[in-house]
Amino acid sequence: MSYQRYWNESIETMPREELEAYQTEQLKEHLKYAYEHSPYYKQSFDESGVKPEDFKVLSDLSKFPFINKQIERDAQISKPLLGTLTAVPEEDVVFVSASSGSTGVPTLSPFTKTDFDEFQDIQSRLFWAAGMRPHDRYVHALNFTLFVGGPDVIGAQNLGALCIWAGTIPSERLLYILQEFQPTVIWTTPSYAWYLGETAKKQGINPATDLAINKIIVAGEPGGSIEATRKAIEDLWDAEVYDFYGISDIYGACAGMCSARNGLHIAEDQIYVEVIDPVTLEPVKDGQRGELVLTTLRKQARPMIRFRTGDIAIFNKEKCECGRTHGRIQVVGRLDDMLIVSGVNIFPSDIEFIVRNIKELNGEYRVYAISENFTTKFKVEVEKHADVTITNEELSEKVSHNIKARLGVRPKEVVILEEGALPRATHKAKRFIDLREQ
């Protein structure tokens, strides 16, 4: 059966010049809307000495103040339930998601009916770009409890796929569903995709031959965009892996891989993207790493103007070989997880790329930040395959050498562990441990 190539061809393949003209007009209206309807933005713009009419071209957005997670949290606390950032009365809100609250008070993300419908249309677009079609059976293995990614299953339903609302259930139960219903697509985290495949093998189930999964959508960790990690999961399952990116403060997934799998197309008709130096707050050059700053273009319930995500990413505006013109992001890590060692910025994902490419290792790792003589250093723990013949000392030196060769700095220590020594994550893995304050 043949299907159309794009979910929304006119939007997804809009020439860059037209797309940026569209963003400019949307921002003119959106800034005006935020100023007139959100108490926070009225005060913030006034205190910064800017008005919506000061925005005329895209570069003018730099005149407007940033917001961040702390501002979002404080605005919510100042006027419960939804806070002063909100631009609609509560009776217009039909759905709220919430952050995990791991760094403080959980922050709510409100949606009007229009917001929610457009949100799910974006999910359909991303699923379609990843190759999901109406004939697929899709199992949604994400948390439904206030998590912004929970409702994304509706985007798959709107696309026409048969959807199984599994949620975060025990692995044994999920494997039963995979055997009984033989779904073709699943969405989870990279860590859990690996864990679930290994668990299946321990139960005598070969994920590659006994199950029907041919596409695995992953999100929540950088692993889906690390080629070695993606290949390891693909080899385990004999399935293609597609990375998605979402942020609870705005949407569920707002960016995802297409068939080219060379970055994640972000929905630029809904979100305007900036990448800044997190220290100087100035824009970085295209293709350079920086902090991802997102601005909604249409969200009614709670506009987000220049939201500093804390995610370090690369943004590529070049047209993709798939024909889509919306820019592609590659998230390399969290600003909170970044180490500066001898002037070099290091992320856990950098270490993951290296250990996944050393044949004696199974890919499991942890990075520890430590303090020594008032400077930051790091230690790496890795697991070796059971049949490795070289000594731990030789393997440790090999890992240390490869890290030095790629990143320019050498870890203080590389600890070689037996297979299975590191704790396995049933969902999102804890790869970075900061011991500096200890």
| DSSP codes of every residue in 230-269 | HHHHHHHHTSEEEEEEEETTTEEEEEE--TT-SSEEE-TT
Instruction: Give the pLDDT score at 340.
Output: 81
The predicted model gives 9-21 an average pLDDT of 98
Instruction: Give the pLDDT score at 427.
Output: 65
Is the pLDDT at 368 greater than 70? The verdict is: yes
Instruction: Give the pLDDT score at 179.
Output: 97
Range name among 87-96, 188-197, 210-219, 237-246 with the lowest pLDDT average: 188-197
Range with top average pLDDT, 97-106, 188-197, 269-278, 338-347: 269-278
Q: Which residue has the tokens 């006119």?
A: 10
For the chain, give the mean pLDDT: 93
User: How far is Cα 38 from Cα 182, in angstroms, rounded to an integer?
Assistant: 47
Comma-separated ranges of CATH 3.40.50.12780 domains in the chain = 1-334
Closest-CA residue to 299 (of 53, 61, 29): 29
Encoded tokens for 284: 């970085």
Burial of 145 (0-12, 13-18, 19+ CB in 10 A): exposed
- Local structure of 87: helix, strand or coil: coil
Instruction: Give the pLDDT score at 34.
Output: 98
Range name among 14-23, 98-107, 363-372, 411-420 with the lowest pLDDT average: 98-107
Q: Which CATH architecture has domain 1-334?
A: 3-Layer(aba) Sandwich (3.40)
Closest-CA residue to 99 (of 293, 248, 246, 309): 248
- Local structure of 321: helix, strand or coil: coil
- Local structure of 162: helix, strand or coil: strand
Confidence of residue 50 (pLDDT cuts 50, 70, 90): very high
The predicted model gives 204-229 an average pLDDT of 93
The predicted model gives 86-110 an average pLDDT of 85
User: How far is Cα 97 from Cα 100, in angstroms, rounded to an integer?
Assistant: 10
User: How far is Cα 361 from Cα 395, in angstroms, rounded to an integer?
Assistant: 9
Confidence of residue 436 (pLDDT cuts 50, 70, 90): confident
Instruction: Give the pLDDT score at 101.
Output: 53
Range name among 26-35, 191-200, 423-432 with the lowest pLDDT average: 423-432
The predicted model gives 401-412 an average pLDDT of 91
Q: Tell me if 91 sits within 8 A of 113, measured CB to CB.
A: no
The predicted model gives 144-157 an average pLDDT of 93
Instruction: Give the pLDDT score at 252.
Output: 87
Q: Tell me if 313 sits within 8 A of 332, measured CB to CB.
A: yes
Comma-separated ranges of CATH 3.30.300.30 domains in the chain = 339-434
The predicted model gives 248-263 an average pLDDT of 94
Instruction: Give the pLDDT score at 278.
Output: 93
How long, in residues, is the chain?
438
pLDDT in tens, 324-333: 999 999 998 8
DSSP H helices, 130-237, are 153-159, 171-181, 190-202, 227-237
- Local structure of 329: helix, strand or coil: strand
Strands 361-372 and 432-434 come out as: parallel
Confidence of residue 268 (pLDDT cuts 50, 70, 90): very high
User: How far is Cα 241 from Cα 215, in angstroms, rounded to an integer?
Assistant: 6
Instruction: Give the pLDDT score at 426.
Output: 63
Instruction: Give the pLDDT score at 251.
Output: 87
Instruction: Give the pLDDT score at 221.
Output: 82
CA distances from 175 to 42, 113, 161, 183, 309 (A): 51, 35, 20, 11, 34
Residues above pLDDT 70, as percent of the chain: 97
The predicted model gives 345-357 an average pLDDT of 87
Range name among 87-101, 253-267, 415-429 with the lowest pLDDT average: 415-429
User: Under CATH, to which class is 339-434 assigned?
Assistant: alpha beta
**Residue type present at position 112:** T
Confidence of residue 154 (pLDDT cuts 50, 70, 90): very high
Instruction: Give the pLDDT score at 100.
Output: 63
Is the pLDDT at 308 greater than 80? The verdict is: yes
Is the pLDDT at 79 greater than 70? The verdict is: yes
